[in-house]
Chains A and B, each alone.
Chain A
Amino acid sequence: MTPLFDPQLPADALLPLLVLASSLLPGLVVFFLGEARVGTRTALNLGGAFLKLGLVGWMILGVYHGQRYELRMPLLDDLDLVLRVGALSLLFLVLSAGLWLVTTVYAVGYLEQSPHRSRFFGFFSLCVTATVGVAMAGNLLTFLLFFEMLTLTTYPLVVHRGTEAARRAGVVYLTHTVLAGALLLAGTVWLYTLTGTLAFAPRGFVSEVASEHPAALTAIFALLIGGVGVKAALVPLHGWLPQAMVAPAPVSALLHAVAVVKAGAFGVVLIVYDVFGIEQAAALGVTGPLALVAAVTIVYGSLRALFQDDLKRRLAFSTVSQVSYIVLGVAIVGPLASVGGIVHLVHQGVMKITLFFCAGNLAETLGIHKVSEMNGVGRRMPWTMGAFTLAALGMIGVPPIAGFISKWYLSLGALEAGVHWPLYVLIASSLLNAAYFLPILHAAWMREPSGPWAEAAARASAQAGDGGGRPRPETRWLLLLPPLVTAALSVLIGLFASMPVSPLEWSLLIVEREFHYP
């Protein structure tokens, strides 16, 4: 191993920059490409995605051997922009780099023929750039920078369709995120004036001033969580997420699984662990309310999901609920719960992206948007619905799929911390999950189709080059492969959760390194 990897290489400091550039530069170039240059654009996008994944893989190797990658650039007088790759960053990096690749493939297939593709893929790449920037942020200022960049680069994706509904969704999205940005900025500056530093550190950096300014720190905690909570869709800041469903399916996948919501949840993790420190946060008495908010969000999201007929809206409320598992895991003070929360970052991402891919396939192939239209669709699109089923079962928490692992560790963590109510929340939520997913599965597999798959089927056969009754794939390969891959992944990371570099093992590593055992 060692000859492959020399920690003395100066290039190592540049690795974080390369990770950023691998999507930034293709993104910028893509803006200037003509709409018709499909080949060049796809090559750039996929090349960037593979390159990023490779770079991240290289860094996994390094971090596993204790190497830390850091790049500094002075921004303010005694405050730098810091890109740093540690264990926690890598977890998020792997998630976003991996899912970006899959989503790019999917988006290439999904957006064939549609207008404004250069614009779409340009912002798509910028959005991922911002996400990996969030992942690698070494201090709160850098985090803020990329977090705001994420806001700006996702807006064009949300309103991409240009319809009146999209425009309204864009307004709602911006209102939420811009106000949240203001809160985050306020909290960040205020914290800086108290502590004189913003550098993320294991166990936080506020302990020295905690005794002097408990009230101010509590307010700062509220501001910061309010700032990231909008993207993490904590109730009552979640209003934008269901609205944003008007965006094309790859965007929903990106919003829910890769970038925005994840960045928010990741922000909560960072603020609790690396800004305040879990013990300091507990001492300030802010983890309790946070756990409460998370619990409310979990239950509320599930309840709302139950009553949505629009498939994507149901999935959206499901996201609202599921992402708060991460927050809950963080807010229950204890290492095992933390493992559950952190690993759910990955697990939820992989499962939810599968669901959105599948929903996109249904809409794109058969024109299905509503749950009530899904009767018998399992026979028409068995592969898509198979992937959907796996992911949905994972969400409910059926072993051995990834979601089970998360819930298991969350429950253990709650018991370890000596509190029981999170257990009830988890059970209630799992029941609700079952209540809104199982009817879908039932309808898809058991019911008869309500009618012929009329107009959309004709379109599909025309695109397949007139198969003339011969067996043909249920939809385009570019649309089918990504959900199959991610569905398989969500089973695999559940099955092999105890393998060396599985998300679970990695989370344990993070918690060991960053969590302070008494």
Chain B
Amino acid sequence: MPLDPSGPGLAGPAWMLAVVFLPLAGALLCFLLPRLAAPVGLVAAALTAASTLALTLAVMADGTARTQLGGWAAPLGILWRADGLSVALLAMTAAVGVTVSLYATAYFRNDEHERTFFWPLWLLLWTALNALFVSADLFNLYVTLELLGFAAASLTALGGSAAALTGAIRYLLVSVLGSLSYLLGVALIYHGCGTVDLALVAACVPDAPRPAMQVAAGAMIAGLLLKTALFPFHFWLPPAHGSAPAPVSAVLSALVVKASFYLVLRLWVDVLGGGGRWVAELLGVLGAAAVLWGSVLALRQERLKLLIAYSTVAQVGYLFIAFPLAVAGGAVAWTGALYLALAHGLAKAAMFLSAGNLLRFGGHDRIAELDSAVHRLPLTLTAFALAGVSIMGLPPSGGFIGKWLLLEAAFEQERFGLVAVILLGGVLAAAYVFKVVGHAFTPAARERRIRAVPPGMEWSALLLAAAAIVLGLTLPLISPLLQLGPASAASAVTLAAGGGA
């Protein structure tokens, strides 16, 4: 990664401190004051989102922000670095985070136990995400990954049902396994390079012992793929995301999965200088398989939350289709994948929140019996449908822009197989979205005993869905943030065989 020579302003580092320490402080306060958890948490969420906005503006104005933690320079100390990529994901996290927080105040209003534990755990999850996005240190990233995994697993279990616990345990085991695989890679890199700073490692990798670097890269990326739930490592995701409370599912699908994808991307582009050609091809094949397999399974689900969860499996696949395209010279594919990641974050959160509304209203999420609920909750249905537009990749949504850019790269390289997968994924997405939306237009067969849904829950879902659509109109505004270093075909490291530790 070429270092930005322009002197960073003072604003950036200050706001980086804020985005990591504000949610942390909020989490501790929520834990200490369980009765005030909701108001304290909401304030912390609002402040965190505001500082993220400030950091975003600072980075857009002054370029990459850097901080030396403890005042120690790189090989000895830990660095924070917020560049365009970090800021884009931080901003998406903040947008989803603050909306989910609003939603959660209403969602957990009547459940004291869940409320008192949701807030500290969720704010720690947010802390972990922000810390991960600004960290420029391989080992520190490991700690943030673990923090993230524990917070996510605890939140998954929050509902307390056997299904939730099983999902949480499986998730925790997978998460720890992935982190250990990553840590093994870090150990090898440290002993090959004598540093864990991203920029210094990037400079050292070309001259370091190749087998060690290859195995390290393979172990790190394999561990992260496990956490990103790339096919065939997706088995843990649907049960976990499907059984968690709605705001938690939203956060897990929208943000947590993206964090490990971000790290794969960061390593691939900034540290390893672009991986080997055929490793990228392998990732592309897995991505394509994920798109098709995830979509087909989503279509076959009978429960709404599982449908949405499998949709995540499919959408994660899209992100990896970018790898073969980008390695072959289409840097536009990175922008496309990032755009898809951001749009998916917003849209998928909106979908899970909508599902939460329907579940709250009708007491179940069996798709075949959703008719009475969708009739009574038009705003929720609108949110789901708008989010669906982005997931399908129809214009002018964020999902459309991402798919367009991927398609552009695929056509330029005449990769018609990938073109077909990208398009087919969209068609299948339309099929599973309309499987749900279609219920809005059937006459409601039976009246059920129903619970009112607070307007805040409906509006926050709609807000996120609208954001996913509006994202489609903002590419000129944010594309400077998404310019990743051109992944040159001449790679510094060719990853080792398989990498499937």
Direct A–B contact in complex, judged by CB atoms less than 8 Å apart: yes
Interface segment, B132-140, B162-170, B388-396?
A: B388-396
Q: What CA separation (Å) do A186 and B425 show in the bound complex? A: 13
CB-contacts of A119-164 with B (<8 A): 119, 141, 144-145, 148-149, 152, 155-156, 159-160, 162-163
Of chain B, the residue at the smallest CB distance from A156 is B441
Interface: B427 (CB within 8 A): yes
Interface: B112 (CB within 8 A): no
Judging by beta carbons under 8 Å apart, are B407 and A185 in contact? Answer: yes
Partner of B430, one of A76, A167, A178, A192: A178
CB-contacts of A68-102 with B (<8 A): 73-77, 81
1/0 per residue B434-467: CB within 8 Å of A?
A: 1000101111000000000000000000000000
Inside 8 A of A81's CB, which chain B residues have their CB? Answer: 396
Interface: A182 (CB within 8 A): yes
Judging by beta carbons under 8 Å apart, are A166 and B441 in contact? Answer: yes
| Interface hub of B395, B442, B473 (most chain A Cβ within 10 A) | B395
Q: How many B residues face the partner with a CB closer than 8 A? A: 32
Inside 8 A of A181's CB, which chain B residues have their CB? Answer: 394
Given contacts A178-B430, A189-B408, contact A77 B479 (CB under 8 A): yes
Judging by beta carbons under 8 Å apart, are B427 and A77 in contact? Answer: no
Interface: A170 (CB within 8 A): yes
Inside 8 A of A174's CB, which chain B residues have their CB? Answer: 430, 434
Tell me the smallest distance from the CB of B422 to a CB of chain A, in Å. 9
Q: What CA separation (Å) do A148 and B430 show in the bound complex? A: 12
Interface: A383 (CB within 8 A): no
Q: What CA separation (Å) do A181 and B434 show in the bound complex? A: 15
Of chain B, the residue at the smallest CB distance from A157 is B441
Given contacts A160-B441, A174-B430, A189-B404, contact A74 B394 (CB under 8 A): no
Q: What CA separation (Å) do A480 and B325 show in the bound complex? A: 60
Tell me the smallest distance from the CB of B30 to a CB of chain A, in Å. 36
Interface: B419 (CB within 8 A): yes
Judging by beta carbons under 8 Å apart, are B427 and A178 in contact? Answer: yes
Tell me the smallest distance from the CB of A441 to a CB of chain B, in Å. 36
Inside 8 A of B472's CB, which chain A residues have their CB? Answer: 75
Interface residues on A, range: 35 or more
Judging by beta carbons under 8 Å apart, are A193 and B442 in contact? Answer: no
Judging by beta carbons under 8 Å apart, are B404 and A148 in contact? Answer: no
Partner of B441, one of A159, A178, A193: A159
Interface: B476 (CB within 8 A): yes
Judging by beta carbons under 8 Å apart, are B441 and A167 in contact? Answer: yes
Partner of A179, one of B408, B411, B427, B475: B427
Interface: B207 (CB within 8 A): no
| A interface residues, Cβ below 8 angstroms from B | 31, 73-77, 81, 119, 141, 144-145, 148-149, 152, 155-156, 159-160, 162-163, 166-167, 170-171, 174, 178-179, 181-182, 185-186, 189-190, 192-193
Give the top 4 A-B pairs by smallest Cβ distance, nearest first. A145-B395, A189-B407, A159-B441, A182-B423
9 extra interchain contacts, Cβ-Cβ under 8 A, other than A167-B438, A179-B427?
Answer: A76-B405, A119-B378, A144-B395, A145-B395, A152-B394, A163-B443, A178-B430, A182-B427, A189-B408
| B interface residues, Cβ below 8 angstroms from A | 378, 389, 392, 394-396, 401, 403-405, 407-408, 411-412, 419, 423-424, 426-427, 430-431, 434, 438, 440-443, 472-473, 475-476, 479
* 28 residue pairs from A and B, CB less than 8 Å apart: A31-B378, A73-B473, A74-B475, A74-B476, A75-B473, A75-B476, A76-B404, A77-B475, A77-B476, A77-B479, A81-B396, A119-B378, A141-B395, A148-B395, A149-B395, A155-B434, A156-B440, A156-B441, A162-B442, A166-B441, A167-B441, A171-B434, A178-B426, A182-B424, A182-B427, A186-B407, A189-B407, A190-B411
